[in-house]
Amino acid sequence: MIKIGVLFGGKSGEHEISLMSAASVINALDKTKFEPFYFGITKTGKWKRFEGKTEAIENGDWEKTAIDFNPGNLKEVVDFALPILHGPYGEDGTIQGLFEMLDIPYAGCGVLASSAAMDKAIAKDIFARAGLPICKHTLIFTEEFAADSEAVVHKVEREVPYPVFVKPANMGSSVGITKAKDREGLYAAIEEAARYDRRIVIEEGIDCRELETGVIGNYLPQVAEVGEILPSAEFYDYKAKYFDGGQSKICIPADISKETKERIQEIAVKAYSSLDCAGFARVDLFLEKETDKIYINEINTIPGFTKFSMFPLLWAAASVSYPELIERIVNFGYERYNAKNKR
């Protein structure tokens, strides 16, 4: 039986989403094959070991009974690490670097792919070099904005037409993202994004459908069904994703032609490979309504794993159950670890 360490929480703004995802993953683990151990990271970055029920993880009460844990001792406790950590310090290559230093096999992308995918600006540069279609965008820095906000806003307006989406470069779950339709809105949106990151991506807001698919595997990636997000709000923001009481809808499979589906899956696999992703990831795309042109939006290297998250639902539609999906992800982690150690 494999001793598997499930990591959750973290210092990012997606801490609560990580708790929900981890609880769902733990409940779905095949306990005849995996012996789970729970490791939580507090919002201040302290590591703790928890031995209670998953309900306490999901509702945030786990810290009350958890005990301090030294992450340097992780390999003494578990055989394999399964990080269910969203956002900075968990999905950006930092925790993956720790696993590499400790020589622990782990699920998901390595340091480089995790870091590149987490940074929306870097990822777009790589996608463009790979010949993948991306929306018009520009990158600004909070230091520039603080020094001369008017000049920065004029630069944005020259390069990207309204409406625009203003995004922290290194956040997920749509945290800190705002749609701006005019100059006044742009100022406010930049200030909001600056709460989360010093690097801000400003992207053309095309009239589009939001589509997603899942990719798993290392050297021969497999792609899932394509799904569509039907948000309750103007776009699929943080509130709509997790706290709108089910008003946002997920449509699987998406109502698109066979040709469009195949093209989306092709772009998704190419994007996955361009970042050297491994294990699993969710690929988010746009389908422009007027032209049917497909744009790659971003790659989520540790996508939401809650019971209503798109990633596991996409694979369920492809006849891969939740427990089987987790088992495959673990196997891909071992495959990558063993291949690296043979060199």
Catalytic residue among 58, 225, 309, 327: 309
Residues that constitute the known binding site for Mg(2+): 284, 298, 300
Q: Report the distance separating Cα 336 and Cα 132, nearest Å.
A: 26
Q: Which two tokens stand for residue 96?
A: 């993956």
Q: Which two tokens stand for residue 91?
A: 């999905």
Print burial letters for 191-206: b (CB count within 10 Å at least 16), e (below 16).
ebbbebbbbbbbbbbb
Is residue 72 within 8 A of residue 45, CB to CB? The reply is no
Query: What sign does the CA torsion over 194, 152, 130, 313 have?
Result: positive
Q: Which two tokens stand for residue 193?
A: 């994004």
Q: Report the distance separating Cα 248 and Cα 65, nearest Å.
A: 35
DSSP letters for 97-148: HHHHHHT--BSS--HHHHHHHH-HHHHHHHHHHTT-----EEEEEHHHHHH-
Q: Report the distance separating Cα 249 and Cα 50, nearest Å.
A: 34
Catalytic residue among 14, 212, 228, 327: 14
**Residue 173 is a catalytic residue:** yes
Residues that constitute the known binding site for ATP: 120, 165-167, 173-174, 203-210, 297-298
**Residue 184 is a catalytic residue:** no
Cα angle 256, 163, 168 (rounded to 5 degrees) comes to 90
Q: Which two tokens stand for residue 26?
A: 């733990």
For 273, list phi and psi in degrees, rounded to 5: -70, -35
Residues that constitute the known binding site: 120, 165-167, 173-174, 203-210, 284, 297-298, 300
Is residue 140 within 8 A of residue 151, CB to CB? The reply is no
**Residue 340 burial (C-beta neighbours within 10 Å; 0-12, 13-18, 19+):** exposed
C-alpha radius of gyration, the chain, whole number: 20
Q: Report the distance separating Cα 111 and Cα 85, nearest Å.
A: 14
**Residue 309 is a catalytic residue:** yes
Catalytic residue among 18, 114, 115, 173: 173
Positions marked active-site: 14, 173, 309
